């Protein structure tokens, strides 16, 4: 699997460039890509990615994306509504959450 931009950084970049709001085709596209990544990744790939991220500082773009989601409640709610269940299900299947 090719190295990918962290999903939060991708969200930030796409939303800032497009000027998109929470209920938009752009948000839908980004959320769908995040869900698709989890659905298509093996448990081994997810565990490896998780191990690589632990302990290191987050990239600046990812920190900015997190800040945008902290500051925009509507955008955060729309994004989480779209990605939470599929991600949680995959993490449960992989033993990443109880």
pLDDT tens digits, one per residue of 16-68: 544 444 456 767 777 888 899 999 999 999 999 888 877 777 788 778 777 87
Residue 90 lies in a domain: yes
Distance CA 57, CA 17 (A): 25
Mean pLDDT value of segment 8-23: 52
Tell me which residue has tokens 């209920």.
Answer: 23
Residue range(s) defining the domain that contains residue 80: 70-98
Of all helices (H) and strands (E), which one includes residue 54? Answer: none
Q: Based on the structure, what is the number of domains in the chain?
A: 1
Residue 8 lies in a domain: no
Distance CA 50, CA 57 (A): 13
- What pLDDT was estimated at residue 42? 96
Backbone Cα Rg of the chain: 14
Tell me which residue has tokens 């949680």.
Answer: 88
């Amino acid at each position: 699997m090719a190295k990918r931009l962290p999903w939060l950084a991708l969200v930030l970049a796409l939303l800032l460039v497009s000027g998109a709001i929470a209920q938009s085709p752009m948000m839908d596209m980004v959320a769908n890509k995040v869900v698709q990544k989890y659905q298509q990744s093996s448990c081994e790939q997810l565990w490896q990615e998780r191990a690589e991220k632990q302990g290191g500082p987050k990239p600046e773009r990812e920190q900015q994306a997190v800040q945008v989601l902290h500051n925009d409640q509507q955008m955060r709610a729309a994004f989480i509504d779209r990605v939470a269940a599929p991600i949680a299900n995959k993490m449960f299947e992989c033993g990443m959450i109880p």
